[in-house]
C-alpha cells in the first residue's frame, strides 16, 4: 500500500492528531481553483469553509469568480452591496460582508472585481487596508477563483499562501488540473498546491486520480503535491444545490458531509509549509495580486 493510500485510509478515524506549532496571527490566504468548470469548486469552497468554522476556526470566503460568482446562489441569499460600493467609498469592506448559511461571513463577487485591476495607487492602498482590517479577525481567508487560467485567476493563485486544486475522475478534469499546476508553477516555483478529488466513487479511484497528477508533476515539474482527500459522488450534493442550502448543513450525515469534515480536520492540522511562513500576510497578498 502506498504512503498516500495509507494516509487516506487513516484519515477517517484519525481526528485526534497532535496540533502543529501555531503560526503567527495573520490569516492564511487560500485559493480554491480548478482547471475547468463544472467540477464543484464553489460548492467545495463553501462547505469546506463551513466545516472549518464548525471546528471553531474563523473563516471568511471571498467570491472572486469574475465571470460567474455564485457563492450566494449556493446559499440562497442575495447581496445588496458588493466590491463596487467599497471602491466608490460608499461602503466599507466590513459593511458589505454578508452572513450566509451557518452564519458564514462572505464577500459577494460580481460587480467590482474587474475594477480592482485598474486601481490608482491611493485606491489600492485604501482597498488593501480595508481587507487587512477584516482579515485580522480571521484564521483563514478563502478566495473562490474562476475556473481555468485567466490572467486574473493566475494572479490570485500566485499571490496566495497556497492553492487547493479541485478535480474529478474525468480525464479532461485531470488533464486540466495538471495544466493549471504546470502554468502556475512556470510563473511562480514556490506555489504550494494540494489536490482534492471530487465526485469519487471510492478511495481507490481518488488515489488513482491523485497519483496521475502527482507522478507527472513530480517527474516533469519536480513538485511533490499531496492529496488532501476526496469527496464521494453523493446525490445529496445535487439535492442541496437545488434547495440552495450547503450540503454539510442540509444533510450533515451524508457521505459528502463526512468527507468534507475529514478534509477540514486534516487541513487544519497539517504543518504550515515553509514557503507560507515567509509570506507578508493579507496586505502583501493584495499588493502582489493587484500588481501591474
Residue 28 and residue 214: Cα distance in Å, rounded? 24
For position 255, what pLDDT does the model report? Answer: 97
State yes or no: pLDDT of 253 exceeds 60. yes
Question: Where residue 84 falls among pLDDT bands split at 50, 70, 90?
Answer: confident
For position 149, what pLDDT does the model report? Answer: 83
Sign of CA dihedral 258, 227, 288, 66: negative
Contact (CB, 8 A) for 229 and 8: yes
State yes or no: pLDDT of 124 exceeds 60. yes
Share of the chain above pLDDT 90, in %: 55
Each residue of 104-113: b (16+ CB within 10 Å) or e? bbbbbbbbbb
For position 246, what pLDDT does the model report? Answer: 97
State yes or no: pLDDT of 22 exceeds 70. no
Contacts of residue 164, defined as CB under 8 A and 6 or more positions apart, other chains included, come to: 30, 31, 32, 33, 44, 48, 193, 194, 196, 228
- Give pLDDT tens digits for 111-123: 666 677 777 888 8
For position 2, what pLDDT does the model report? Answer: 45
State yes or no: pLDDT of 14 exceeds 50. no
- Mean pLDDT for the chain? 85
∠ Cα 203 248 108 (to 5°): 115
Residue 200 and residue 205: Cα distance in Å, rounded? 6
Residue 216 and residue 250: Cα distance in Å, rounded? 38
For position 87, what pLDDT does the model report? Answer: 83
Distance of CA 23 to the CA centre of its chain: 19
State yes or no: pLDDT of 278 exceeds 60. no
- Give the closest residue to 291 by CA, choosing from 156, 126, 201, 102: 156
For position 112, what pLDDT does the model report? Answer: 62
Mean pLDDT of 118-144: 85
Cα separations in angstroms, 239 against 74, 125, 245, 246, 262: 11, 43, 9, 10, 21
State yes or no: pLDDT of 27 exceeds 50. yes
State yes or no: pLDDT of 19 exceeds 80. no
- Give pLDDT tens digits for 55-73: 999 999 998 876 666 888 8
Mean pLDDT of 222-251: 96
For position 69, what pLDDT does the model report? Answer: 63
For position 223, what pLDDT does the model report? Answer: 96
State yes or no: pLDDT of 288 exceeds 90. no
Report residue 275 as a C-alpha cell: 514557503
- Give pLDDT tens digits for 183-215: 999 999 989 999 999 999 999 999 999 999 999
pTM for the model stands at 0.86
For position 237, what pLDDT does the model report? Answer: 97
Residue 140 and residue 59: Cα distance in Å, rounded? 5
State yes or no: pLDDT of 88 exceeds 50. yes
Amino acid at each position: 500500500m502506498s504512503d498516500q493510500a495509507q494516509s487516506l485510509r487513516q484519515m477517517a478515524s484519525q481526528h485526534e492528531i497532535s496540533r502543529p506549532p501555531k503560526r503567527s496571527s495573520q490569516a492564511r490566504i487560500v485559493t480554491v481553483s480548478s482547471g475547468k468548470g463544472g467540477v464543484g469548486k464553489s460548492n467545495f469552497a463553501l462547505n469546506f469553509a463551513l466545516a472549518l468554522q464548525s471546528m471553531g476556526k474563523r473563516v471568511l470566503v471571498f467570491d472572486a469568480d469574475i465571470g460567474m460568482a455564485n457563492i450566494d446562489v449556493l446559499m440562497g441569499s442575495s447581496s445588496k452591496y458588493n466590491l463596487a460600493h467599497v471602491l466608490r467609498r460608499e461602503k466599507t469592506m466590513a459593511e458589505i460582508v454578508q452572513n450566509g448559511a451557518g452564519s458564514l461571513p462572505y464577500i459577494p463577487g460580481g460587480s467590482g472585481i474587474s475594477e480592482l485591476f485598474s486601481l490608482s495607487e491611493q485606491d489600492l492602498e485604501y482597498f488593501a487596508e480595508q481587507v487587512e482590517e477584516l482579515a485580522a479577525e480571521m484564521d483563514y481567508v478563502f478566495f473562490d477563483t474562476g475556473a481555468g487560467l485567466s490572467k486574473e485567476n493566475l494572479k490570485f493563485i500566485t499571490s496566495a499562501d497556497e492553492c487547493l486544486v479541485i478535480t474529478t475522475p474525468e480525464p479532461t478534469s485531470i488533464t486540466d488540473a495538471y495544466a493549471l499546476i504546470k502554468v502556475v508553477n512556470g510563473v511562480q516555483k514556490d506555489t504550494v498546491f494540494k489536490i482534492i478529488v471530487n465526485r469519487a466513487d471510492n478511495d481507490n479511484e481518488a488515489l488513482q486520480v491523485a497519483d496521475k497528477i502527482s507522478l507527472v508533476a513530480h517527474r516533469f515539474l519536480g513538485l511533490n503535491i499531496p492529496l488532501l482527500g476526496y469527496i464521494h459522488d453523493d446525490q445529496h450534493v445535487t439535492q442541496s444545490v437545488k434547495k440552495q442550502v450547503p450540503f454539510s448543513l442540509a444533510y450533515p450525515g451524508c457521505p459528502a458531509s463526512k468527507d468534507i469534515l475529514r478534509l477540514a480536520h486534516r487541513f487544519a492540522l497539517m504543518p504550515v509549509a515553509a514557503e507560507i511562513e515567509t509570506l507578508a500576510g493579507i496586505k502583501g497578498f493584495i499588493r502582489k495580486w493587484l500588481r501591474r
